[in-house]
Structures are given as structure tokens and as C-alpha cells.
Amino acid sequence: MFFRWIERNPFFMAAWISLVIAVAGLIEIVPDFAKAARPVEGLKPYTVLELAGKEVYKKDNCIACHSQLIRPFKSETDRYGDFSVSGEYAYDRPFLWGSKRTGPDLHRVGRYRTTVWHEAHMWNPPAVVPGSIMPAYRHMWKNAADIETAYAEAVTVKNAFHTPYGPGIRKGKEAWEKYKPTVLAQARKVAEEMKGTEGVSKEEVLKMIDSGKVPEIVALIAYLNRLK
Ligand code: HEC
């Protein structure tokens, strides 16, 4: 009876079709919203050192030439690895997808580049990749990364968004003083893998860390290594 009636009433028929499509659409879309908000399995929040490196990445505007989003096309997955999924960015505030690829995508660069590779490349890109137009970033050996602000950032996202950081990361100057050696130890580990460049030796880098400062290059490499 219902179908007989509705098929003879174009207006109600149109309304009925819209309703059916809308409901079906919701059934398809809503579960994806729930999934998108969840980190992919095994994803860990950025360490304080990695966050400091991410700040360097933002400050020196790597995003102007590099994206961090691999699209689901064969040409991209052949070159960079698995395409990116939303849950991988759960701890990215903000995410750094970018929209310009003067250089290659960096979302999985940690899979195929190493600490020493980055060290030599950031010091003098054309020495590693002949003909490279990427600028050198030698100031990163002199400048100290702002690990204290990175720590404050970790505290903020922990409290505001329940990012799963351990009990060591909490508000207050004292908590930071207590946590700082952990950050310096991570930095030392990265620096120990480095070789030194013709301008700055490995010993100088280690000395800076032992004096309580992390050179930007060390934080940046920790961040790049983490992009997998
Ligand atoms: C003016 C554009 C430009 C800027 C700004 C720039 N890059 Fe690049 N980058 C390039 C180009 C072009 C390449 C490819 C040639 C090469 O490997 O040197 C590249 C390559 C790279 C690679 C090697 C990737 C691979 O898969 O081989 C890394 C890592 C990288 N850049 C990191 C950075 C970081 C970190 C910054 C910010 C501090 C940065 N780049 C800023 C243009 C740029």
C-alpha cells in the first residue's frame, strides 16, 4: 500500500529517496568519525626531544617544501611506503601535512634515512644528493632547541587531551628539573650515532648536551627518525 501510494506522489517520493540516502550515508560515515579520532595501534606520543625537533621543523619552515602525507596511489606508495591514515596523526597538534612538494614527502623518512645521513645532508645537502637545491641548515648546530617549552607542550596535551604520557611529565618547575636528564639522555643517544661534520665535531655536540643544552640538529634528527 505504502509503495503504491508513494510512487504516485513525486514530491513524497523525492523526500523518501533523500531520507533513505541520508540514513545510508550516516551508517557509512559515522563509524569512520569514531575511528579517525583514535590513534592507530602501537602509536606512541612524541617524546619531549621529538616535540622539540618538531618545533624546529615548524620554525625553519620545512613545511614550505615538504609534505607529510602519502596519498593512496601506486606511484606514491612505491616511493615512500604505505599511504598515510588519519589515526597516525592522533598526537600531531598541529599536523604538518603540508601542500607543497619541492622536496619529497617525509612522512616515512625514518624508514630509509639514518642519523648520519641526516647529519651530512642538513649540513650540506648537495654533498649527499648531487644537484640538491635544499638549503643547508648549519645554524642548527649552534642554536639550542627549546626543550623546556617542548616539555610544557607535553604537559599541556597530557592535561587537555589525555595524551598518554607517564607520571614523570607534569606541571611545575620542579617536575621539569627532574625530567630534564631523561631528555638529555635521549639527546646523547642520538648524538652518539652522529659522526661530526667538517665544521662541528661530534665532541662539541656532546659537550653542548652535557652542559644541559640540546643543539637543534639533534632534536630535529630525533624527530625525523621517528617519522615512520
Ligand atoms: C627550498 C625547499 C626546501 C626546504 C625549505 C627544505 N627542503 Fe628538504 N629537500 C628539498 C629538496 C629539493 C630535496 C631533494 C634533494 C635532497 O635530498 O637534498 C629535499 C630532501 C630532503 C630530505 C631527504 C628526503 C629523502 O627521502 O631523501 C630530508 C630528510 C629533508 N629534505 C629534510 C628537510 C628539513 C628537516 C627541512 C627543514 C629544516 C627541509 N628539508 C627544508 C627542499 C627543501
Rg of the chain, C-alpha, whole Å: 24
- 102 touches ligand 1 (CB under 6 Å): yes
Ligand 1 pocket test: which of 65, 99, 118, 228 has the largest number of ligand atoms within 8 Å of its C-beta?
65
Summarised one tens digit per residue, pLDDT across range 47-59 is: 999 999 999 999 9
The confidence score (pLDDT) of residue 73 equals 95
Q: Say how far apart CA 43 and CA 138 lie, in whole Å.
A: 32
The confidence score (pLDDT) of residue 192 equals 97
Where do we find the cell 523518501? 16
Measured in Å, residue 173 CA sits from the centre of ligand 1 at 36
Confidence of residue 39 (pLDDT cuts 50, 70, 90): confident
8 Å CB contact between 51 and 182: no
44-63 CB burial, b ≥16 within 10 A, e <16: ebbbbbbbbbbbbbeebebb
- 133 touches ligand 1 (CB under 6 Å): yes
- 127 touches ligand 1 (CB under 6 Å): no
The confidence score (pLDDT) of residue 86 equals 86
Residues 6 or more apart whose Cβ sits within 8 Å of residue 19: none
Confidence of residue 35 (pLDDT cuts 50, 70, 90): low
Of 84, 80, 136, 153, nearest to 111 by C-alpha is 80
User: In Å, how far from its chain's centre is CA 104?
Assistant: 15
Measured in Å, residue 44 CA sits from the centre of ligand 1 at 25
Q: Does residue 96 surpass a pLDDT of 70? A: yes
8 Å CB contact between 105 and 66: yes
Identity of residue 200: V
Where do we find the cell 667538517? 198
Q: Does residue 32 surpass a pLDDT of 80? A: no
Confidence of residue 36 (pLDDT cuts 50, 70, 90): low
The confidence score (pLDDT) of residue 63 equals 97
Q: Say how far apart CA 128 and CA 132 lie, in whole Å.
A: 8
Q: Does residue 29 surpass a pLDDT of 90? A: no
The confidence score (pLDDT) of residue 37 equals 64
Summarised one tens digit per residue, pLDDT across range 112-171 is: 999 999 999 999 999 999 999 999 999 999 999 999 999 999 999 999 999 999 999 999
Q: Does residue 38 surpass a pLDDT of 90? A: no
